[in-house]
């Protein structure tokens, strides 16, 4: 299944100043599969070492020597390291020392391509208090399959091309909405998508999603050194009912104190199961420079898993789509959030910002705030196609912004819109972007 990340891996591998690459992301988002598909596509000799199954003695030696590690790899895999070799250390969180030693590949053997990946890697990095030397390793952050990747995987390449070009005839729109419903149900977890393709049926999808959810829950006991696993599981399930809302800790667990709930949330965010969307005053770039970490809302890793936890069947999703998500508007935000978190954030890691004013008489909120170079762009996700945009105009007035985006099921359009605020007319160039064209959100702002 083709991923956008394959292009980035190709650029990395053939770059003259290549450094060891660490792929970070939640369990089951396809990190290992991505590396294997990339190696196959480029005709590379892949040496894969799963550190859950294979222990490397040379890493544990009192004095680390690169040549000893290379010799051990070749002896245990019975494969010679050559000019077209790609070494892949999978489940590298099982060998914290090796994580530290990756720098020596750049310093001593930059001619060898090295990729590492692992489950719960974010937590391992925090636990070990790692501080990677700047310029010795690099990171790539991988999320679930996007809607466009889902279209590629399901044989809808032509539709993906039309959406990317915003060539939206009535026929394209009708098919895009049908595939969007499928994506809402199936989601972007590669194993689920592959099963959907193989079986040509939605029936077994939920079974695979439940297995993935149980895999996450099975990981919770690994957190026991820091927090009670049962509390993490309770917060995990409770979060689904609070998606897209300003987080109040006690709404997640009335029996625990805020500090313990916060620890549980931090673990789930570190594991990339949850996506944190933080308030920023949004007066200037970077957005992170004006963020308030105490004010935030949450979204889940994947919309398919959200619907599985909520037990929303396919017929309900069809009904919601036909009614412009009148009762389940949170789903539209979830869809947008998981895409914005990773679009253009592959090197930095998932980032989401929003803007909230909940004091005084003029309470307002902007669902998401984008930063494109030096420009700040407010994004509203409307559950209904004709939803009000009062908060958006207030934001644009207060922050002197002239460009805004509305994501809904409306057709694509660019219009000059205005709204009267306290006797003054606020003018905004409003881009209406259909949900199914979400991958084009940065491209359209340049038009």
Location of structure tokens 């079986």 = 199
Residue 321's pLDDT is what?
A: 84
**Do 271 and 123 meet the contact criterion of CB atoms below 8 Å apart?**
yes
**Do 345 and 339 meet the contact criterion of CB atoms below 8 Å apart?**
no
Of 104, 101, 91, 93, the residue nearest 128 (C-alpha): 93
- 336 contacts: CB under 8 Å, gap ≥ 6: 367, 368, 379, 381, 407, 435, 438
**Do 366 and 331 meet the contact criterion of CB atoms below 8 Å apart?**
no
Q: Which domains does the chain have, with CATH numbers?
A: 5-141 (3.40.50.300), 273-444 (no CATH)
Of 408, 395, 405, 396, the residue nearest 445 (C-alpha): 405
CA distance 60 to 81: 21
Residue 320's pLDDT is what?
A: 85
Instruction: Please list the pLDDT of the chain residue by residue as tens digits (447 residues).
Output: 899 999 999 999 999 999 999 999 999 999 999 999 999 999 999 999 999 999 999 999 999 999 999 999 999 999 999 999 999 999 998 898 899 899 999 999 999 999 999 888 878 777 666 666 678 999 999 999 999 999 999 999 999 999 999 999 999 999 999 999 999 999 999 999 999 999 999 989 999 999 999 999 998 887 666 678 899 999 999 999 999 999 999 999 999 999 999 999 999 999 999 999 999 999 999 999 999 999 999 999 999 999 999 999 999 999 888 887 766 789 999 999 999 999 988 998 999 999 999 876 678 999 999 998 899 999 999 865 555 788 999 999 999 999 999 999 999 999 999 988 888 899 999 999 999 999 999 999 864
Residue 362's pLDDT is what?
A: 74
CA distance 71 to 383: 58
CA distance 421 to 304: 40
Containing 429, the helix (H) or strand (E) segment is strand 424-434
Total Cβ atoms within 10 A of residue 233: 17
Terminal-residue alpha carbon distance, the chain: 31
Q: Which two tokens stand for residue 80?
A: 């010679």
Residue 281's pLDDT is what?
A: 96
Residue 165's pLDDT is what?
A: 95
Residue 384's pLDDT is what?
A: 57
Q: Which two tokens stand for residue 170?
A: 């009535």
* 273: three-class secondary structure by DSSP: coil
- For the entire predicted model, the pTM comes to 0.94
CA distance readout (Å), 180 to 1, 302, 330: 18, 14, 15
Q: What residues pair up with 391 in beta bridges, in sequence order?
A: none
**Do 354 and 369 meet the contact criterion of CB atoms below 8 Å apart?**
yes
CA distance readout (Å), 142 to 33, 192, 294, 298: 12, 16, 26, 18
Residue 226's pLDDT is what?
A: 67
Containing 402, the helix (H) or strand (E) segment is none
């Amino acid at each position: 299944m083709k991923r956008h990340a394959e292009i980035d891996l190709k650029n990395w591998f053939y770059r003259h100043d290549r450094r060891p690459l660490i792929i970070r992301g939640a369990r089951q988002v396809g990190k290992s599969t991505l590396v294997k598909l990339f190696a196959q596509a480029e005709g590379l000799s892949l040496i894969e070492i799963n550190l859950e199954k294979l222990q490397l003695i040379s890493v544990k030696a009192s004095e680390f020597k690169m040549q000893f590690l290379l010799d051990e790899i070749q002896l245990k895999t019975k494969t010679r390291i050559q000019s077209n070799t790609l070494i892949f250390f999978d489940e590298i969180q099982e060998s914290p020392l090796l994580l530290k030693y990756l720098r020596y590949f750049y310093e001593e053997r930059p001619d060898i391509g090295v990729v590492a990946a692992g489950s719960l890697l974010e937590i391992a990095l925090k636990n070990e208090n790692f501080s990677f030397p700047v310029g010795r390793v690099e990171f790539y952050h991988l999320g679930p399959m996007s809607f466009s990747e889902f279209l590629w995987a399901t044989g809808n390449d032509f539709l993906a091309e039309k959406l990317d070009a915003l060539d939206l005839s009535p026929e394209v729109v009708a098919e895009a909405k049908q595939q969007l419903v499928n994506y809402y149900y199936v989601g972007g977890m590669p194993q689920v998508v592959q099963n959907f393709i193989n079986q040509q049926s939605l029936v077994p999808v939920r079974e695979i999603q439940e297995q993935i959810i149980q895999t996450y829950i099975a990981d919770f006991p690994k957190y026991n050194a820091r927090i009670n696993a049962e509390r993490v599981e309770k917060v995990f399930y409770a979060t689904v009912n609070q998606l897209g809302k300003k987080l109040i800790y006690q709404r997640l667990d009335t029996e625990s104190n805020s500090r313990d709930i916060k620890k549980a949330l931090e673990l789930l965010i570190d594991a990339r199961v949850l996506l944190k969307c933080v308030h920023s005053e949004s007066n200037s770039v970077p957005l992170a420079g004006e963020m308030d970490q105490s004010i935030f809302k949450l979204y889940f890793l994947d919309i398919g898993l959200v619907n599985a936890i909520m037990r929303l069947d396919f017929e309900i999703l069809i009904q919601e789509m036909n009614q412009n998500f009148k009762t389940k508007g949170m789903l539209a935000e979830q869809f947008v959030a998981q895409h914005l978190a990773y679009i253009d954030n592959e090197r930095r890691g998932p980032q989401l910002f929003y803007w909230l004013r909940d004091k005084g008489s003029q309470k307002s909120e902007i669902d998401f705030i984008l930063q494109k170079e030096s420009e700040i762009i407010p994004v509203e996700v409307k559950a209904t196609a004709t939803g009000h945009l009062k908060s958006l105009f207030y934001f644009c007035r207060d922050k002197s912004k002239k460009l805004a985006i509305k994501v809904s099921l409306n057709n694509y359009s660019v219009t000059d819109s205005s709204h009267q605020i306290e006797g003054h007319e606020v003018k905004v160039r409003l881009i209406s972007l259909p949900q199914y064209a979400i991958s084009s959100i940065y491209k359209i702002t340049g038009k």
